[in-house]
Amino acid sequence: MLLKTLLITSLLGWVKCQDSQIMTLEEKTVIRDQIVEMFDHAYGSYMKNAYPADELMPLSCRGRVRGQEPNRGDIDDSLGKFSLTLIDTLDTLVVLNKLDEFEDAVRKVVTDVRLDNDVVVSVFETNIRVLGGLLGGHVMADLLKQRGERMQWYRDELLHMAKELGHRLLPAFNTTSGLPYPKVNLRYGVLNPLSRTGTESDTCTACAGTMILEFAALSRLSGESVFEEHARKALDVLWQRRQKGSDLVGTVINIHNEEWVRRESGVGAGIDSYYEYLMKAYILLGDNVFLERFNIHYSAIMKYISQPPLLLNVHMHNPTVSVRSWMDSLLAFFPGLQVLRGDLKPAIETHEMLYQVTKQHKFLPEAFTSEFRVHWGQHLLRPEFAESTYYLYKATGDPYYLRVGQSIVEKLNAYARVPCGFAAVQDVRTGMHEDRMDSFFLAEMFKYLYLLFSEKSQLPIDIDDYIFTTEAHLLPVSLSITKPPYQGNHTETVPLSQEEDLFTHSCPSMETLFPNNPRLLKPSGTATSTSPEWDEPSTLYLSGKLISRAMTMGWNQ
């Protein structure tokens, strides 16, 4: 009841004060300049105090080098002695129009970074951060070179490095199921006696199901189909192993016998980006199978997991009962994914719930209860809430989300900024800092915040030409047209047994968010039908045209 009262009050206030939320261009400029200054502080601190180490330790003002600091367990599997933060930041430099710094960073990566280190790394983290960073950097470098403005020396070095890294990750897929091992040794692979890995039997759903964007892009750009084939195979296995009655997947699966180890199902940690990549693989690659699978999963999520505005985990075999009363902060990406799906009403509701949590605790705790109490107080400067804020503003044009973004900027400066960058918060209840600044803070947070406060004309690239990976790296949405799939890269079609209400939540918005995608363009002036539930006027952009839509802020009684 407390939760519902808080959100009803908030939503009613949102409706009443929309006029007061309007933000002038001058205000947006001030905030955007502030974001740039914050980025300069974070990136400059890394380059000055940490490079070529993987990460900055902002309280110690030095780099985090694996093996030289106390072992943090699996967290350290992101570190591969490959200047992680620099690679993860490459395309952020372009988005923020720091083209001189970008060119210098590319030279450093090409000259200094080695990928054959004798170190065991997470396949998932290395894929989304390093492989994704190299691909995003290559796409940007190639674009700038084609414009003739700079990077004329560039000869696809980042793409060559991406291909090398892809081959170093491939041994992880040497399983009978096709699901990858969670870890790989960059030099020795998995089964080599010197690899110090290969004994693992389990992996998370997101770990196995978040490869297709990077691996498919690598295949299309390099001409080697093997990467996309392996990523598709892993997705096929996860799809086949879904619980057929509920159409949900579990959190952890055995990579050898394909049996579920943890049958808890949700949209947060352990599963999150599996759903994200089904949707985005359709946008990037144009394969309808990915959309069909996503829609079947999405229907199940909205039926069992969604309890507006909450998203509570259930048991995949008995999905009518929630298995816990708390949520983790990683699910904050989900409203943004719902925007891509065109399901604005629940996206708005869940995002508002998350905003209320940040108002109470300054940041999203790693986990919090349905009553907004802290379950796990750590905050790692995660970008998912900013990501969803950006998507909602892009879809609605509502200045309310600019004010939300402004609050994110202010809290980061007030409570996370330290002399050597920005520090994670050990516990939001005490405000005590932690000596870590993860690479995703530079790769994602500043990218989404800068885009939120920028006009398209102020950006050095047309952002609508790209899809964001889960690490916010930029891949061109034209990939399926300019680089068609190679033989063998086909996924079996979903049987036509979808529920009748599969598209009842739909109000397609991909044309809005990706107006330059040649596969998604509609004839000028063509508008899609709208949900009869929507009755308040709102404005969305579709292929450069304004269309009127209705958007309700009502509450499900």
- Give tens-digit pLDDT for 263-314: 999 999 999 999 999 999 999 999 999 999 999 999 999 999 999 999 999 9
pLDDT at 487: 58
Would you kindly state where each structural domain of the chain is located, as residue ranges?
A: 2-12+25-522
Nearest to 79 by CA among 68, 91, 65: 65
Give the pLDDT score at 545: 24
Q: What is the pLDDT of residues 158-174, one digit of tens each?
A: 999 999 999 999 999 99
What is the model's pLDDT at position 21? 76
Q: Which CATH architecture has domain 2-12+25-522?
A: Alpha/alpha barrel (1.50)
The 10s digit of each residue's pLDDT in 317-371 is 999 999 999 999 999 999 999 999 999 999 999 999 999 999 999 999 999 999 9
- How far apart CA 127 and CA 104 sit, in angstroms, is 23
Is the pLDDT confidence value at 8 over 50?
A: no
Give CA angle at 207 (201, 208), nearest 5°: 75
The Cα–Cα gap between 190 and 261 comes to: 22
Which tops the pLDDT comparison, 320 or 528? 320
**C-alpha separations of 223 from 112, 157, 165 in Å:** 26, 15, 15
Out of 11-20, 175-184, 464-473, pick the least confident: 11-20
Distance of alpha carbon 203 from its chain centroid, rounded?
19
C-alpha–C-alpha distance, residues 181 and 499, integer Å: 34
Q: Is 462 helix (H, G, I), strand (E, B) or coil?
A: coil
Q: Is the pLDDT of residue 232 over 60?
A: yes
Distance of CA 124 to the CA centre of its chain: 13
Place of tokens 């598709």: 232
Q: What does the alpha-carbon distance between residue 171 and residue 235 come to, in Å, rounded to a whole number? A: 17
Percent of the chain with pLDDT over 70: 83
Q: Which of 46, 61, 203, 52 is nearest to 117 (CA)?
A: 52
First to last CA, the chain: 12
Does the annotation flag 5 for ligand binding? no
- Helix, coil or strand: residue 5: helix
pTM (2 d.p.): 0.87
31 vs 265: CA distance, rounded Å: 39
Which residue bears the tokens 């596969």? 519
For 481-515, b/e burial (b = at least 16 CB within 10 A) is eebebeeebebeebeeeeeeeeeebebbbbbbbbb
Which residue numbers are catalytic? 125, 272, 366, 384
* Tokens of residue 497, six digits: 């047994």
Cβ count within 10 A of residue 527: 13
